[in-house]
Amino acid sequence: MANKFSNPDGVRAPGGAYTHVVEVPASARWLVISGQVGITPDGKILEGAEAQTEQCYKNLLACLKAHGMGKEDIVKFTVYLTDSRFIPGYRAARERMIGNDCKPTSTLVIVDGLAAPEMLVEIEAWAAKA
C-alpha cells in the first residue's frame, strides 16, 4: 500500500500546492528531515529568499536520495519565512524544484527570524516510503 493523498469533503480545497491529508500505511519507513536553510554544501548562504528556497529544496532532495527516497515520498513540509513578501518567490522556487504533481501536507509560518539574520527561509520535511 502506498501513501494516500486526499482532500476530504467538507474542507475548503487547498489554496496552493498541498494536500489536506496524507494517510501513511503502517508498514512505511519514516524519514524526518531537520529544517534546511539556503546554505550550499560549501557553506555559502545564498542571497534572496527565492535562491535560498531553491537551495533548501536541493538540500531536502539530497537527504531523501541518500535514504532511497524521492519527492513522491514526502508527506509533510513545514516552511518558515521571515517575511510574507517572500511568498511569491518561495512558491516559484518550490514549483521549479518540487513541481505541482507533488502535493504533501504543508504548513507555512511567518517568523521573526531564524538562526542567523541572513537566513530568510527554512524548510523541514517528513517522508514515508511503504
Question: Per DSSP, which regions of the chain are E strands?
Answer: 4-6, 21-23, 29-37, 74-81, 105-110, 121-129
56: in domain: yes
Q: How much is the pTM?
A: 0.95
Percentage of residues in the chain having pLDDT higher than 90? 96
8: in domain: no
How many domains is the chain partitioned into structurally? 1
Cα-to-chain-centroid distance, residue 100 = 12
CA distance linking residue 78 with residue 41, whole number of Å:
22
- Here the CATH number for the domain that contains residue 96 is 3.30.1330.40
116: in domain: yes
- Residue 71 sits in which domain range? 48-130
Closest C-alpha among 77, 82, 76, 78 to residue 110: 82
pLDDT tens, position by position, 59-103 = 999 999 999 999 999 999 999 999 999 999 999 999 999 998 899
Is residue 1 over pLDDT 90? no
